[in-house]
Structure 1
Amino acid sequence: MSISTTKDKYKLLLDNLKELEPFVIAFSGGVDSTFLTAAAKEAGVEFEAVTVNTPFVPEREIREVKKLVQELEIEHQQLEIELNQLEKALENDAERCYHCKKVIFNQIMDYAAGKKVVEGSNLDDTGDYRPGRRALKELGIKSPLLTAQLTKKEIRMLSKDLGLITWNKPSLSCLATRVSYGNKITADRLEKIEIAEELLRRNGFHQFRVRDHNNLARIELSEADRDKILDLNLMDKLSDKLQKLGFQYVTLDLSAYESGSMNKEILEGKDE
């Protein structure tokens, strides 16, 4: 079904949420799940938000979730998953996200105790390599933003209209997505990436990734951020700090930041 306007899509979303209640929202504090939660509030439906904290999630995001919960005034529960519970995902093969989503959403489903579970995938999420989507389908998780055919751009626009502070929040993904496929994910590696990205954030960068290729850090910056890196003193400072974290080489990707850039090799392999 083709839906003509963003307003029509939003109305369809509210109607769908009324049909799904009562439900549990997988709440990460990102643009999509925050918008979905605000829409559920506007729809007046019965729901609860649940956040699953894993070692793949930066501490900054865990803190921001707590602030958002207070601002949204929603019923909220935090669940915890330890690194050893993500054993298959730690192997970091092409099915990493599938294994991770299975663990996370099985825990949410156990908590939901028979209620439906919904999450914030949108229409743009269908255009990349997303093994996690397969896990969601297998578990019967609902994706109402996708059902309403809402794009990321539309979600940001509607979030702004709703007065949500997340409307222009940079796109998020877990720390595991920074590690090149085939390299085992460890607690030390995750910590190193988290510290490196926090360093970039404190130096004024907005949308970026620090990709871990063993002893090489590959920094991706958005087009808006790339001019900032051309300060030689800043380059030296970042290189020195990242090398002290354990990276032997620190490089800048000459292409702008691209979500899912680690998936290119996998997608190209599928095309052959």
Structure 2
Amino acid sequence: MQSKNSVKIKNSNIKAGINLLHDKLSRLEEELKTLRNIAVAFSGGVDSTFLLKVAKEVLGKNAAAITIDSPLYPRRELDHAIKFTADNKIKHFIIKNDCFIKPDFTKNDKLRCYYCKNDAFTKIIETAKTQGFINIADGQNKDDSSDYRPGADAALELGVMSPLKKHGFTKEDIRQLSKEMGISGWDRPAFACLASRVPYGTRITPSLLEKIDRLESFLIEKGFVQVRVRHHGKIARIEIAKEDFPGMLGKNLMEEVVSEFKKAGYIYVTLDLEGYNAGSLNRLIL
């Protein structure tokens, strides 16, 4: 049983944490107020959704979203982004982008993300300027610095702002504030582009990404929330949250998963015993 003093200390720590969180939000809002307008590179994920919502509240009609429509992202992600901007009456510009015409992307070396982001941000900046937006921001947060993300270099080189990272927002901060603000999807699972499922050096093709997307959608339909299907030639390595292991290992579902993956061309179907691990393929180069 906790003593009264320990309860007071715990409550004091919680209050201090909440105050720190709202201080970050205040600093973000103050920075946005100094801008005439802003266009947010909007994927529909938790981070860019939070930034866009705050920008809309601070700048009103002078905040907009720009989304890349690419084979690298499932249609469900684009649909979510479109619904959010419509529900919140935010200007939304959508740009078609065929990354497969770029040899630097399809060869899939360790700078793939840099080439892809450089191309995407260049298009976003062009669209923003055409529409009269002079400031462009993305949804990078403090936690992103802990992983290998060459795409962040492309953003920096092109002058794209990363205000969430600048003000020290972590993913948990963003989820907590998004929940407080009533932002739909605050608890959505983290999502990375489908190319991140393919080891560096393996050529990326439309059919490969379509297969990965189809299999991840299959697992999501079966009730798994955080899902990755990592492609290793004829081996599929499934990553799900550890707490979901019992569901996956039920006899009927396990056989159904194996059957579905083998129909897609995999000879071996494996479950990663470490569970879901963001950016796990980066271990091959770090």
TM-score normalised to structure 1 length: 0.94
Secondary structure at the aligned position of 1:5 is classed as: helix
Deviation of 1:234 after TM superposition, in Å, equals: 0.6
In 2, Cα distance between the equivalents of 1:98 and 1:233? 42
Indicate yes or no: 2:55 matched with 1:40: yes
Deviation of 1:224 after TM superposition, in Å, equals: 2.6
Deviation of 1:145 after TM superposition, in Å, equals: 0.5
Runs of at least 4 residues of structure 1 off by over 6 A? Answer: none
Deviation of 1:132 after TM superposition, in Å, equals: 0.6
In 1, Cα distance between the equivalents of 2:85 and 2:195? 25
Secondary structure at the aligned position of 2:238 is classed as: strand
* Letter aligned with residue 153 of structure 2: R
Match of 2:284 in 1: 265
Deviation of 1:71 after TM superposition, in Å, equals: 1.7
Q: CA-to-partner distance for each residue in 1:217-239, whole Å, 9 max, x for gaps? A: 10001123222112011111001
In 2, Cα distance between the equivalents of 1:258 and 1:138? 29
Secondary structure at the aligned position of 1:20 is classed as: coil
Indicate yes or no: 2:74 matched with 1:58: yes
Deviation of 1:40 after TM superposition, in Å, equals: 0.6
Matches within 5 A, 1:39-188: 39-45=54-60, 46-113=62-129, 115-188=134-207
* Letter aligned with residue 108 of structure 1: I
Secondary structure at the aligned position of 1:206 is classed as: coil
Unaligned runs of at least 5 residues, structure 1: 268-272
In 2, Cα distance between the equivalents of 1:86 and 1:17? 35
In 2, Cα distance between the equivalents of 1:220 and 1:211? 8
CA contact (8 A) 2:38 2:55 kept: no
Q: CA-to-partner distance for each residue in 1:102-149, whole Å, 9 max, x for gaps? A: 000000011111612100000000111111111111111000111111
* Letter aligned with residue 283 of structure 2: K
Greater shift, 167-176 or 66-75, is seen at 66-75
Indicate yes or no: 2:36 matched with 1:21: yes
* Letter aligned with residue 219 of structure 2: L
Root-mean-square deviation (Å): 1.4
Match of 1:270 in 2: none
Matches within 5 A, 1:242-257: 242-257=261-276
TM-score normalised to structure 2 length: 0.90
In 2, Cα distance between the equivalents of 1:21 and 1:177? 35
CA contact (8 A) 1:50 1:76 kept: yes
Deviation of 1:64 after TM superposition, in Å, equals: 1.4
* Letter aligned with residue 57 of structure 2: E
**Which structure would you say has the larger Rg?**
2
In 2, Cα distance between the equivalents of 1:119 and 1:185? 25
Match of 1:189 in 2: 208
Match of 1:209 in 2: 228
Q: CA-to-partner distance for each residue in 1:241-260, whole Å, 9 max, x for gaps? A: 01101112111101110111
In 1, Cα distance between the equivalents of 2:241 and 2:232? 20
Q: How many residues align?
A: 265
